[in-house]
Amino acid sequence: MALPSSTTVTNQESQLQTLNPTIIPGLPNDLAAVILVFVPYSHHSRLKSICKSWKQFFSSKTIISLRQKHLPLSTLSPLLCIFPQDPLIASPYLFDPRNLAWSPLPPMPCNPHVYGLCNFTSICIGSHLYVLGGSLFDTRSYPLDYPCPSSSAFRFDFGTSSWETLAPMINPRGSFACAAAPNLDKILVAGGGSRHTMFGAAGSRMSSVEMYDIGKDEWVALDGLPRFRAGCVGFFVGNGEEREFWVMGGYGESRTVSGVFPVDQYYRDVLVMEMKNGGKWRELGDMWEEGERWKLGKIVVVEDVPSEAPAVFMLDRGDIFSYIMASNSWIKETSLPRKTSDESSVGFVALDGELHVISHLNGVKSKECQRLRQQKRSTMLVQIYHPRTKSWRAVTTRSPFQHPLDFKTAVMCTIRL
């Protein structure tokens, strides 16, 4: 998203000068505003209760644009947005790992006919948060216990602290690949379908690909994937005309065990869409040999690297692997200092150039965590790995959620504010 023009910011600051009551007694409002924008964004919700003028200031549309004007990009707060469950009924939270602070966001606009939204995708561009698709249950559909794919698209504006409904996707989908090209104001989605949280293999699959134009608020169909694929991940590689959209992993067909229980069959290959020639796909082959692993682990992409190609990492059974694009293979990068008892219920996200592995202390195999386990609210352990320095550090934080966060179904994305 484009930053506000100097004329717009000047008008906003002139409005602050005439704000009544004053923000800080004895100081002009424009100077007081510059001072307060240095407060981390994660603390703004708490400061609204200080006084009426602070509530008005920290709720205004100017705070985001002032932070973007006066603060360098590197000093803006890198935040993690976590959706613990259905965002229609449960508020998402922002987590600030630098200050170990949590801040709630308002829930999405409620639809009385749908419930249980999951398998959606969240992605951030500029000061906007997008929530796309997913699987849900509709009270108007039959049978009631069968999940339906959703085509809905929502956007949260941090400047106005409000949600808005966007144009729906052409094809409803959940569990799909998604990536954003911020300098082009485009979002790409590929594959997906519907997926039950308990009986996932019984869901549908699709191969369609769409691109969302943020400025026009419309979706355009692109050349579809070579075959049905859901549960995959996507990211962009390169810049300008050489930009490519990569899709890896996921599942397609399913088989049954004992002729009753459906089981997914996972892909080992990579697909690449070359954006410059009309979006044609090419296949790169398998990323590992038969028997090496049965499916792709949790994937994160570190985009703020010196080279044009982003760094791709995978968390698999307590080990972190890095992807080698030249050979289409994975090599072991490091192992978690503290292993978890339930390796599947672990969050994995790239934030501020570092890899964050999030788990609950009651799931960590460590004697030093026994005392913290006695606390009523769940305590989360964040193990942070820096790929450049090859070093680990760890922090703990009290979770704002009443129940332990289920990372198998929670949706996460990152943003700088």
- Same domain for 165 and 60, yes or no, is no
Average pLDDT of the segment spanning 146-174: 92
- Same domain for 205 and 336, yes or no, is no
pLDDT at residue 250 above 70? Answer: yes
- Same domain for 287 and 165, yes or no, is yes
- Same domain for 204 and 348, yes or no, is no
Q: Which one of 296, 315, 332 terminates a domain?
A: 296
- Same domain for 344 and 275, yes or no, is no
In a domain, 88, yes or no: no
Q: Which one of 275, 296, 317 terminates a domain?
A: 296
Contact indicator for 38, 94 with CB cutoff of 8 Å: no
Q: Which one of 269, 296, 323 terminates a domain?
A: 296
In a domain, 76, yes or no: no
Contact indicator for 324, 50 with CB cutoff of 8 Å: no
- What percent of the chain stands above pLDDT 90? 47
Look at the chain and report how many structural domains it folds into: 3
Confidence at residue 308, expressed as pLDDT on a 0 to 100 scale: 63
In Å, how far from its chain's centre is CA 332? Answer: 24
Model confidence pLDDT, tens digit, residues 69-79:
888 877 888 99
Average pLDDT of the segment spanning 182-190: 89
Peptide bond between residue 87 and the one before it cis (omega within 30 degrees of 0): no
Contact indicator for 357, 363 with CB cutoff of 8 Å: no
pLDDT at residue 217 above 60? Answer: yes
Contact indicator for 84, 400 with CB cutoff of 8 Å: no
- Same domain for 207 and 182, yes or no, is yes
Model confidence pLDDT, tens digit, residues 5-37:
444 445 555 555 455 578 888 888 888 888 998
32 φ/ψ angles, rounded to the nearest 5 degrees: -60, -35
Confidence at residue 4, expressed as pLDDT on a 0 to 100 scale: 41
In a domain, 160, yes or no: yes
**Average pLDDT along the chain:** 85
- Same domain for 260 and 336, yes or no, is no
Q: Does residue 275 sit in helix, strand or coil?
A: helix
Confidence at residue 374, expressed as pLDDT on a 0 to 100 scale: 45
DSSP state letter for 170: S
pLDDT at residue 97 above 60? Answer: yes
Average pLDDT of the segment spanning 208-219: 96
For β-strands 391-398 and 379-386, DSSP reports them as antiparallel
- Same domain for 142 and 258, yes or no, is yes
Residue 232 belongs to what domain range?
108-296
In a domain, 42, yes or no: yes
- Same domain for 189 and 120, yes or no, is yes
pTM score of the predicted model: 0.89
- Same domain for 183 and 318, yes or no, is no
In a domain, 302, yes or no: yes
CATH number, residue 144: 2.120.10.80
- Same domain for 289 and 306, yes or no, is no
In a domain, 286, yes or no: yes
- Same domain for 217 and 235, yes or no, is yes
